Amino acid sequence: MVARIGFVAPIVVYLVLFFGYPLVSNITMAMREFTAASFYTGEAPFVGFENYAAVIGDPVFGTALLNTAVFTIASLAFQFAIGLGLAVFFQRYFPLNGVLRSLLLLPWLLPLVVSGTVWRWIYDQEYGVLNQVLLGAGVIDTAMPWLSSTSMALTAVTVANIWVGIPFNMVILYGGLQGIPAQLYEAAALDGAGPWKRFSAVTWPLLRPVSAVVLMLGLVYTLKVFDVIMVLTQGGPANATQTLTTWSYSLSFQDLDFGAGAATGNMLILLALVFAVFYLRSTRQSAGAAAREAPRRRVPRLPRGRSATGGARASVAAAGEPSATEQERS
């Protein structure tokens, strides 16, 4: 018993000190009128849920919530789609495969402040490389204010964040693709399946658990993106790129209304928890369905003299892919 407690105690102490205490402090701060003077006087009157009501009633709340949703959905969709495409592309062997794959990791290795600074230079209206390229190609007649226009700033910030997140998606999905047996692709090809059919019938079903993990981690990461937005636009112009994360920072450290900032942060944590619980429930249901399905499956024994490829074809046929023989019979 003592050994069990000693084994669990370090992780419990770590969670209490570095996760439990900050979370409880943030929750209590959101229920008090906490200003800069409170740090010196220690006086922070209890106001209940007034900070939450003030935050929700603020006109900026709707804009920040909508920007957070658009920024998160667009980032996740493009990061996953481009990352999956690159992972499938690098699954093939060709010269310099490893070198090119390593170079694509650079955006992920750079500090986010450096990435934001690079994109700020790219988007610069006067000297930015993007405007110079578009002007030189005749696509635009005048330099575009990518970061100072309320209609283009959110798109510009989202593109920068997509660029940052593509390597993470590519690496995880590439690892998932390496776990799919090559015999399944060979069997599908022998059965006449084209590239799209092989992807939809073999790759995607077997890659679905890895995809769920990638999307969940990407969602949690994107919801709390702060560095890139602050370096590029600081939430402006006119709150056009203000998200819940940047607004929470603005309320706390620019308006010095720490109670309202803590309330905004708590709502963001609650939003992430909702998606986390949804993901855990879906994962548990998938695991339960797989456990119930496992006893029903029978691994067919290969007859003597039958090749491994033939066995793989049998596996694909068992998974629902009609074989060439069945197609001929039908």
Tell me: the pLDDT tens digits for 62-74? 999 999 999 999 9
Please list, in sequence order, all residues whose beta carbon lies within 8 angstroms of the beta carbon of residue 131, skipping any fewer than 6 positions away: 124, 125, 140, 143, 144, 146
Q: What is the pLDDT of residue 322?
A: 46
SS3 for 277? helix
pLDDT at 299 over 60: no
Q: State pTM to two decimals.
A: 0.80
Instruction: Report whether pLDDT(120) > 70.
Output: yes
The answer as to CATH 1.10.3720.10 being correct for domain 31-288 is yes
Q: Is the pLDDT of residue 302 over 50?
A: no
Q: Which helix (H) or strand (E) holds 99?
A: helix 97-103
pLDDT of 85 reads 92
Backbone Cα Rg of the chain: 26
Q: Is the pLDDT of residue 311 over 70?
A: no
3-56 confidence digits (pLDDT tens)? 888 888 899 999 999 989 999 999 999 998 888 888 888 788 889 899 999 999
54: which residues sit within 8 A by CB, 6+ positions away?
Answer: 260, 263
Given pLDDT bands bounded at 50, 70 and 90, which one contains residue 291? Answer: low
Phi-psi region of 42 (alpha: psi -120 to 50; beta: other; left: phi over 0): left
Could you give the percent of the chain with pLDDT greater than 90? 37
Over residues 237-264, the mean pLDDT reads 91
**pLDDT at res. 292:** 66
Residue 31: strand pairing partners: none
Digit-coded pLDDT (tens) for 123-179: 998 888 999 999 999 888 889 999 989 999 999 999 999 999 999 999 999 999 988
Q: Which of 231-235, 245-249, 316-320 has the lowest mean pLDDT?
A: 316-320
* The pLDDT of residue 113: 87
